[in-house]
């Protein structure tokens, strides 16, 4: 069995779900479940609720709270945007960048994504940078080309990357569809991402960079995925809204 060199991370992406009160109730259910134990001690826990929930969830317990997005501008006349500093003041250390729903529905591209990563790194926050191919791209055999481009087009703008970055490999065809990448497909993509990342930060840092898998992760498929050498945790959508399912995924991290 593979033993982790780094702290595994379980992150629940709530997307645009739950009211603030429901969010607090869900968070408290996680805390109760977590107290019962049966989890790897080193496991790092994170939830990513909507912005409106962040203040209410601050200081409620030892599950970290992060954000699903941030502005690529630092402050000013940008109606409707939420800045990295605002998020940091609310205790967010982790922020998702480039989730496929943002790329697809909000047309986020290179310039915006690069701006977000730059602001997060400057503020000592940790971007969870999401990448992944569509089904069409996989069928054409261009999965690796797509992953490499998504990394290069953003991180190629930085001279030196000394702060932590977390990756999430989320094949677009597996998000919210009930289809999961096979253990072999996921492991191969993760190993490839790590290999590309080595060019940016060197061998040692790339080996200790966490790469999460996301896309229909559930209690019954988590064990196989999480036991792979290059899969260091999960970014969980649908199943993160069901306390029992989320806790059961957390139990699947290899002992
Ligand atoms: P899913 O979502 O688990 O519902 O597929 C994952 C994600 O979008 O982060």
Cβ of residue 189 lying under 6 Å from some atom of ligand 1: no
As a whole number, mean pLDDT of residues 163-168 equals 96
Query: Per-residue b/e over 160-178, b at no fewer than 16 CB within 10 Å?
Result: eeeebbbbbbbbbbbbeee
Whether 240 contacts 246, CB under 8 Å: yes
Other CB atoms within a 10 A radius of the CB of residue 18 amount to 18
pLDDT at 4 over 70: no
Q: pLDDT (tens digit, 9 = 90+) per residue, 118-140?
A: 999 999 999 999 999 999 999 99
Q: Is residue 1 part of a domain?
A: no
What pLDDT shows up at residue 179?
Answer: 85
Report the nearest atom of ligand 1 relative to the CA of 100: 8
- pLDDT band for position 220 (cuts 50, 70, 90): very high
Residues with Cβ within 8 Å of 88's Cβ and at least 6 positions away in sequence, in order, are: 123, 125
As a whole number, mean pLDDT of residues 80-99 equals 98
Please name every residue paired with 236 in a beta bridge, in sequence order, or none if there are none. 12
What's the domain count of the chain?
Answer: 1
Using a cut of 0.85, tell me whether the model's pTM lies above it: yes
CA of 241 to the centre of ligand 1 (A): 11
Please name every residue paired with 94 in a beta bridge, in sequence order, or none if there are none. 126
What pLDDT shows up at residue 178?
Answer: 85
Run of H or E including 225 = helix 219-226
Rounded mean pLDDT of the chain?
A: 95
Closest by CA to 69, choosing from 24, 30, 108, 23, is: 108
d(CA 190, CA 232): 9
Ligand 1 mutation target, pool 68, 101, 237, most atoms within 8 A of CB: 237
Q: Is residue 203 part of a domain?
A: yes
CA of 176 to the centre of ligand 1 (A): 5
Q: Is residue 37 part of a domain?
A: no
Q: Which domain holds residue 131?
A: 9-14+43-250
Q: Is residue 89 part of a domain?
A: yes
- Computed from CA positions of residues 46, 48, 49, 54, in that sequence, does the dihedral angle turn out positive or negative? positive
CATH number of the CATH domain containing 179: 3.20.20.70
pLDDT at 198 over 70: yes
DSSP string, 82-128: --HHHHHHTT--EEEE--HHHHHHS---HHHHHHHHHHHHHTT-EEE
Torsional class of 81: left (φ above 0), alpha (ψ -120 to 50), beta (otherwise): beta
Q: Is residue 22 part of a domain?
A: no
Taking only Cα atoms into account, the Rg of the chain, rounded to an integer number of angstroms, comes to 17
What pLDDT shows up at residue 2?
Answer: 47
Q: pLDDT (tens digit, 9 = 90+) per residue, 20-78?
A: 999 999 999 999 999 998 899 899 999 999 999 999 999 999 999 999 999 999 999 99
Nearest CA residue ID for atom 7, ligand 1: 237
Q: Is residue 32 part of a domain?
A: no
Closest by CA to 143, choosing from 113, 172, 112, 179, is: 172
- Verify whether residue 99 is a known catalytic residue: yes
């Amino acid at each position: 069995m593979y033993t982790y060199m780094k702290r595994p991370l379980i992150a629940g992406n709530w997307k645009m779900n739950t009211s603030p009160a429901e969010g607090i109730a869900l968070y408290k259910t996680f805390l109760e479940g977590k107290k019962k134990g049966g989890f790897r001690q080193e496991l790092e826990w994170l939830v990513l609720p909507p912005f409106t929930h962040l203040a209410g969830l601050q200081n409620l317990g030892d599950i970290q709270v992060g954000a699903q997005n941030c502005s690529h501008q630092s402050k000013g006349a940008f109606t409707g945007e939420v800045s990295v500093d605002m998020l940091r003041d609310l205790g967010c250390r982790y922020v998702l960048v480039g989730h496929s729903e943002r790329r697809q529905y909000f047309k986020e591209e290179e310039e915006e994504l690069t701006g977000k990563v730059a602001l997060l790194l400057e503020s000592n926050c940790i971007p969870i940078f999401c990448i992944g191919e569509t089904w069409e791209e996989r069928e054409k055999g261009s999965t690796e080309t797509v992953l490499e481009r998504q990394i290069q087009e953003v991180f190629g703008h930085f001279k030196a990357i000394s702060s932590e970055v977390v990756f999430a490999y989320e094949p677009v065809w597996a998000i919210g569809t009930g289809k999961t990448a096979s253990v072999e497909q996921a492991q191969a993509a993760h190993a490839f991402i790590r290999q590309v990342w080595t060019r940016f930060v060197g061998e040692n840092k790339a080996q200790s960079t966490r790469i999460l898998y996301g896309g229909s992760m559930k209690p019954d498929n988590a064990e196989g995925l999480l036991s792979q050498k290059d899969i260091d945790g999960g970014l969980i959508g649908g199943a993160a809204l069901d306390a029992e399912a989320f806790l059961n995924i957390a139990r699947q991290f290899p002992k």
